[in-house]
Chain A
Amino acid sequence: MPDITRDEVRHLADLARIELDDAELDHLAPQLSVILESIASIADVAAADIPPTSHALPLTNVFRDDVVEPCLTAEQALAGAPAVEDQRFSVPRILGDEQ
């Protein structure tokens, strides 16, 4: 089943903001197919008695109380930012991606 098409790879690359040229797409699409096939083989091993899981631990309801904890200072928060203005993170202009 898992045969990922060239177009799907292009679409994924667009979503991930990775620029791929035609040669790279030709190269990567089959590789990704192999990876998907390898992962799909897990399904063959998992019998009906093994439920699908999204987490390694069989836990539910891990909560914290609604109590304020210390946070970073603005100086600490912004320390790693490439650019800062008005105590805010300065980011390149955003086009066509608005939420």
Chain B
Amino acid sequence: MTETLLSFEDALAQFDPAMGLEVHVELNTNTKMFCGCPTEFGAEPNTQVCPTCLGLPGSMPVVNRTAVESAIRIGLALNCQIAEWCRFARKNYFYPDMPKNFQTSQYDEPIAFDGWTEVEVDGETFRIEIERAHMEEDTGKSTHVGTTGRIHGADYSLVDYNRAGIPLIEIVTKPITGTREQAPAVARAYVAALRDILLGLGVSDVRMEQGSLRCDVNLSLAPAGSGTLGTRTETKNVNSLRSVERAARYEISRQAALLAAGSTVTQETRHWHEDTGVTTSGREKSDAEDYRYFPEPDLVPVAPSREWVEELRAALPEPPREKRARLQAEWGYSDLEMRDVVAAGAIPQIEETIAAGTTAQAARKWWMSELARRANEQGVELAELPVTPAQVAAIQALVDAGEINDKLARQVFDGVLAGEGSPEEVVKARGLAVVSDEGALSEAVDRAIAANPDVAEKIRDGKVAAAGALIGAVMKDMRGQADAGRVRELILEKLA
């Protein structure tokens, strides 16, 4: 069924969007939330399970201290209050992704609450209020067997419980209003900011494509300027930054079309389809929301001491936004340059390259042009290229020492990326060093002058700009292995 859509512009002319974003983060602890099973991604099915995470009779859960610590650190990084005392609760439902028939979660006593963070879109800062961040456990992975591969129309399902019990933190925002046409971009920027914060904390792999960071987008529309909240839909499992933006945009257009036609929005779960860029109706929320939460009797309350909380607060890393502002000032990059560096995820590489002795401009030049182009061609992230910041710094040091020039440096990168060894080894093995033999260079200049008498004449007449043609000829003669500056000096000396 194709939904009627209102154009994004028309939708915004009539309605104000409000969003609530729920992000699930899988922690990167060694073991699960309540048992000692490992949490490796991609293990053979049902090989990382035990009686506790399989919900077998008599098994008892015990809370992972590191997971609680990560939860507190996430809460602190999001400027939250940390509960002095809180409990786990059972969320009861019948669905085979949890063999216990309940998920251990937190209900009305989250470990962290009342926080905020800020995101920037097109130079405008938006403050996002955080309602809560609570601890829970991930569910098993179901594969639906049947003609469609989806739940509907499946004949039966196969379940792998390796993921069941992996620590999850669910981070929920308060309604985000007043973002108008920037709503989809703000949603994306928020998830991106959260990813950066989590990465900085080192508490999660934050790989959206592997599901270690997942976003549910709640969205509603209200008549423009009314200041009210409309009926919301919850679009589940939006698993890329781009999709977060697209899903929000789609729901705005879809709900606006319904409301503009005098119809109503049904409060329901919706599914995001990455391939077609649309959401479709899932179940209606009303009755199914009855999870009969009650305090988990098998676990005692978590009451983090204020000393522990303050210790963790003191050890928090510098927040990503502040760090960026500091680095930009230190490195002297323009806003545009910094934005490109951030978008390419090149901050750690550039930071380390500079730490290894390279100037900020040179570090940016290699990572953002030469290496970004190669990463792009290979469809990988910069960090995945087989070249280290130390090697980039070594190559620039060779340039600075006059042993190679920029053009030869590119060939050194070829060699390093091809696994031919260190920059120095590549220079030696490929014979890339700049010819510093003045005699050979002088002879090449003489040859170039002889071959281009008209150009030489112009230079003799004072048209120094013409030297470029002779430099080019000499560089070609020397197969690029000459210092262009020295070549220029020689030409001008000889033709003075």
Contacts and interface: CB of A to CB of B under 8 A. Distances in A.
A90 B290 contact: no
Interface stretch (B292-300, B336-344, B424-432): B292-300
Given A66-B30, A66-B67, A67-B31, A93 B87 contact: no
Nearest to B269: A98
A88 B45 contact: yes
B29 A66 contact: yes
A93 B156 contact: yes
B39 to A, nearest CB: 9
A72 interface: yes
B143 A71 contact: no
B192 interface: no
Main secondary structure of the interface of A (DSSP, over half): loop
A43 interface: no
A40 to B, nearest CB: 16
Interface string B39-80: 000001111111100100000001111111000000000000
B38 interface: yes
Contacts of A73: 47
B301 A93 contact: no
A74 B159 CA distance: 12
A14 B36 CA distance: 35
A66 B64 contact: yes
A87 B44 CA distance: 8
Given A67-B36, A69-B37, A93-B157, A60 B95 contact: no
Given A60-B300, A98-B283, A69 B36 contact: yes
Contacts of B202: none
Contacts of A72: 49-51, 54
Given A62-B63, A87-B44, A99-B93, A54 B30 contact: no
B139 interface: yes
B95 A94 contact: yes
Nearest to B70: A66
Contacts of A88: 45-46, 143, 158-160
B155 interface: yes
Contacts of A69: 31, 35-37, 50
A74 B162 CA distance: 10
Contact of B94 (A77, A78, A97): A97
B93 A57 contact: no
Interface of A: 11, 15, 17, 54-55, 57, 59-74, 77-78, 85-99
4 cross-chain pairs, A with B, having the tightest CB-CB distances, nearest first: A69-B36, A54-B295, A63-B65, A88-B158
28 contacts: A11-B290, A54-B296, A55-B295, A60-B301, A60-B302, A61-B303, A63-B64, A63-B65, A63-B68, A64-B36, A64-B62, A66-B66, A68-B30, A68-B37, A72-B49, A85-B145, A86-B158, A87-B160, A88-B45, A88-B143, A88-B159, A88-B160, A89-B96, A90-B157, A90-B158, A93-B155, A93-B156, A98-B95
